[in-house]
């Protein structure tokens, strides 16, 4: 098996463009890449939450940040020509199920046409050698069955968000076959599990809702306490994206396809498990489940990540309880007034050290 350790030498002085860098995952990825020595540029709207990870770590001071809409192809193309990236990570998205019901048109515009715009801009930018398009584990046609989805399972999506991510997969596949098959740009998609970690304040997402509940006396509504999800720390999925991007750069079409990044099967837990772990740490909040839910959400979702383990050398490192502990520690540090860039870098270093230990013993 290949080493799990992120290759610092590879990323030194690499020019990288990240769309959606002001979001939760994008901010963590930007911070990690700058620490690896990459020259990072970001293209995104301003953070849509207050607080935000982007502001908490003062990312604007270390990343060349452009505030613009992913729907603006002309501006995106201009920025790509100016920055001449070698690697592109496309994370800009409307990333939540419930808002997709409230604004389906906007969700499709951002998630589908935004992906078209990124790939179109890449098509006219010869400097780009590797592109990772981040979609979602929800891109699969969910049959509510009890075994995990593989990359070659059928795409689908009941709600507009999930369906838009399936569409983004199809768009990427079409561009790969139509425009990137015979050139030096390799394009892949990444389907991660339900990501948790410090710095997420999104509405309608479990951990941010739990954290907000600890700051108030209001009971927390848990829409689907029995729903089963592939939970993982944000650094798990990002390590997969980084390893995939390097393999795309080095191997090209050999790895230009879809990839799952999720937890081990024992860490695929129901929502109420996370709520109970939070109650063990903070006993000052209550929760309830509504008698009925307004919108459909999948009851069970699992990922088969054997391909990433076998072909990329990627492996989950932090088990669910450790991932939750790191997440809770981050928010404790934030609300205690710590320097959150330093604290976040410490967590990245802890994760990297864990990957080194695993690589030695595996």
- How far apart CA 119 and CA 16 sit, in angstroms, is 15
Q: Which two tokens stand for residue 279?
A: 């109650």
Q: Is 196 helix (H, G, I), strand (E, B) or coil?
A: strand
Are the CB atoms for 299 and 138 separated by under 8 Å? no
What φ, ψ does residue 297 adopt, rounded to 5°?
-140, 145
Are the CB atoms for 176 and 162 separated by under 8 Å? no
Catalytic residue among 161, 241, 273, 331: 161
All residues at 6 or more sequence positions from 329 whose CB lies less than 8 Å from its CB, including other chains: 198, 347
In sequence order, what E strands does the chain have?
15-19, 39-44, 64-67, 87-90, 130-134, 186-192, 194-196, 220-221, 228-233, 258-261, 268-270, 287-288
Closest CA to 164 of 118, 205, 106, 241: 106
All residues at 6 or more sequence positions from 171 whose CB lies less than 8 Å from its CB, including other chains: 112, 115, 116, 119
- Neighbouring CB atoms inside 10 A of 349's CB total 11
What φ, ψ does residue 19 adopt, rounded to 5°?
-85, 145
- How far apart CA 316 and CA 352 sit, in angstroms, is 12
- How far apart CA 334 and CA 91 sit, in angstroms, is 24
Q: Which two tokens stand for residue 267?
A: 């860490």
Confirm whether 204 is a catalytic residue. Answer: no
Q: Is 130 helix (H, G, I), strand (E, B) or coil?
A: strand
Would you please indicate which residues are annotated as catalytic (active-site) residues?
161
């Amino acid at each position: 098996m290949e080493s799990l350790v992120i290759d610092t030498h590879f990323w030194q002085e690499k020019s990288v463009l990240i769309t959606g860098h002001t979001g939760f995952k994008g901010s963590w990825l930007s911070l990690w890449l700058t620490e690896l020595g990459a020259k990072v540029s970001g293209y995104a709207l301003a953070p849509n939450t207050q607080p935000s990870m982007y502001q908490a770590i003062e990312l604007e001071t270390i990343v060349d940040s452009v505030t613009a809409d992913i729907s603006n192809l002309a501006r995106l193309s201009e920025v790509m020509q100016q920055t001449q990236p070698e690697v592109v990570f496309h994370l800009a998205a409307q990333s939540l199920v419930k808002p997709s019901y409230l604004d389906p048109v906007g969700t499709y515009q951002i998630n589908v046409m935004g992906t078209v715009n990124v790939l179109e801009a890449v098509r006219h930018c010869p400097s780009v050698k590797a592109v990772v398009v981040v979609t979602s584990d929800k891109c699969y046609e969910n049959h509510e069955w009890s075994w995990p989805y593989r990359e070659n399972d059928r795409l689908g999506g009941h709600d507009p968000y999930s369906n838009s991510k399936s569409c983004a997969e199809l768009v990427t596949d079409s561009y790969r076959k139509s425009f990137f098959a015979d050139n030096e740009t390799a394009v892949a998609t990444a389907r991660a599990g339900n990501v948790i970690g410090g710095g997420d304040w999104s509405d309608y997402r479990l951990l941010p809702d739990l954290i907000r509940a600890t700051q108030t006396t209001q009971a927390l509504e848990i829409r689907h306490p029995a729903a089963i999800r592939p939970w993982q720390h944000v650094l798990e999925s990002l390590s997969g994206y980084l390893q995939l991007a390097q393999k795309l750069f080095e191997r090209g079409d050999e790895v230009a396809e879809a990839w799952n990044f999720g937890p081990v099967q024992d860490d695929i837990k129901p929502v109420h498990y996370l709520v109970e772990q939070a109650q063990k740490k903070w006993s000052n909040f209550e929760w309830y489940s509504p008698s009925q839910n307004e919108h459909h959400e999948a009851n069970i979702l699992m990922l088969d990540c054997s391909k990433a383990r076998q072909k990329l050398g990627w492996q989950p490192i932090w088990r669910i309880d450790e991932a939750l502990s790191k997440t809770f520690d981050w928010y404790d540090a934030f609300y205690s007034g710590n320097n959150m860039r330093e604290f976040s870098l410490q967590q990245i270093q802890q994760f990297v050290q864990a990957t080194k230990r695993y690589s030695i013993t595996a």
